[in-house]
Structure 1
Amino acid sequence: MPRYALAIFDFDGTLADSFPWFCSVLNETARRFGFREVQEQERDNLRALGSREIVAHLGVPLWKLPAIAAHMRQLNAQSQGEVRLFDGVEQALANLARHGIRIAVVSSNAEETIRRTLGRAADHVSAFDCGASLWGKSAKFKAVAKRLGIPRERAIAIGDELRDIEAARKAGMACGAVTFGYNAPAALLAQWPDLVFTDFADLQAQLTSG
């Protein structure tokens, strides 16, 4: 029997390769909302920082974050296929479901956008909880586990950012980190996540091994 009965996935940077798209719209968003633009040579340094550090570094007023998030969701909804799933996502989700592992997606992105990008892979998802604030995932992790009737100790939250690890621990769940998303692998490993995944073949192997 697999150790975890529920795998809660982040979307952007975890299931979907959205970092290139994010970089392509970031400076337009910075000009619109009045925070500092990012030079290309800065990107690797920013990948080592947590979300609070990035917000401070770019001089983003906290009161503008909801409007910025809404704007980014709107741009993503209009992207029409620019953001694609990472290789192996559909097969991995199908395999987890076959092993009796329930799947949920918790994201700040819009559910409609996520479903469109997932395509057939959405059929394997038992629950969506979308529109999370930048630091509001912990409550949503707990709500999804409660809704699906799965004890938190049998759930793992999987993401690509330091805030995903923080939220999972705050929710009393295990945390898994993928090394191919927004935050750099070294920054993630420094937080000692319970599991680390290098690709989706590795992820499904680890989660179904018991």
Structure 2
Amino acid sequence: MPYSLVIFDLDGTLADSFPWFLRTINDVADHFGFRRVREEDVEGLRHASTREILGHLDVPLWKLPAIARHARRLKAEAAAEISLFAGVEAMLGALSQSGIQLALVTSDSETNAREKLGDAAALFSHFDCAASLFGKPAKFRRVISRAGADPSRVISIGDEVRDIEAARAVGIASGAVCWGYAAPAALRARNPDHTFERMDEITRAFCPPPTASA
């Protein structure tokens, strides 16, 4: 097996939270005084980097921690509205049964993450949550250390450009899913090590095929 540890993002990767985000972002914008997102802006923002998005919305960096805390509270209140993508439980189960350690690094709280994952939370050996917008590299390093994993056999799987950048910052492989927040073209332009268009492609990429019985 090429990887012994897979570090997953949550929102947009395992949990289908983008529709909730679109319903909520302008209330958050009004609360914190940054620019609202117009419907015609959405596709362009999906092709932008995180710093470009912050610049377009005129979000001061010093407000980010308060915005993140507020968003986590809103997600907790809307837990029933956010479900896992189809096939997540089967994919995670297959990776775990193949002997691959699973970790979750997310900007959401661990409480919210475990609630969204449900029974699948038990498949994860490591949680490192409440990551700041640009804080994933430090959390990746901590998870890799806790897992006792060789970085050459670790991959991070996410749905945003910053997930690819964070993986490169710590010298691990990157995987990008095409069903989340960022546009597939924006992800492919960053040349991740793996690009997944369907959930079952993750299973087929990392799990050995079943051997034929004698």
In which range does the TM-score fall when normalised by the shorter chain?
over 0.9
Alignment partners' CA distance in 1, 2:123 and 2:65: 30
2:49 maps to 50
Aligned pairs for 1:1-210 within 5 A: 2-209=1-208
Contact 2:101–2:124 (CA under 8 A) maintained in structure 1? yes
Alignment partners' CA distance in 2, 1:114 and 1:141: 17
Q: Secondary structure at the match of 1:81?
A: helix
Q: CA deviation at 1:33?
A: 0.3
Q: CA deviation at 1:41?
A: 1.4
Q: Deviations over 1:127-164 (max 9, x none)?
A: 00000000000111111011011111110000000000
Alignment partners' CA distance in 1, 2:105 and 2:74: 19
Alignment partners' CA distance in 2, 1:15 and 1:93: 10
Alignment partners' CA distance in 2, 1:15 and 1:121: 11
Percent sequence identity over matched residues?
A: 52
Alignment partners' CA distance in 2, 1:57 and 1:20: 20
Q: Deviations over 1:94-124 (max 9, x none)?
A: 1001111100000010110110010011111
Q: CA deviation at 1:209?
A: 4.0
Q: Secondary structure at the match of 1:105?
A: strand
- Which has the greater radius of gyration? 2
Alignment partners' CA distance in 1, 2:21 and 2:206: 29
Q: How many residue pairs end up in the alignment? A: 209
Alignment RMSD, CA only? 0.9
Q: CA deviation at 1:199?
A: 1.8
Q: Secondary structure at the match of 2:156?
A: strand
Alignment partners' CA distance in 2, 1:158 and 1:150: 16
Q: TM-score, normalising length from structure 1? A: 0.98
Unaligned runs of 5+ in 1: none
Q: TM-score, normalising length from structure 2? A: 0.96
Unaligned runs of 5+ in 2: 210-214
Alignment partners' CA distance in 2, 1:158 and 1:194: 10
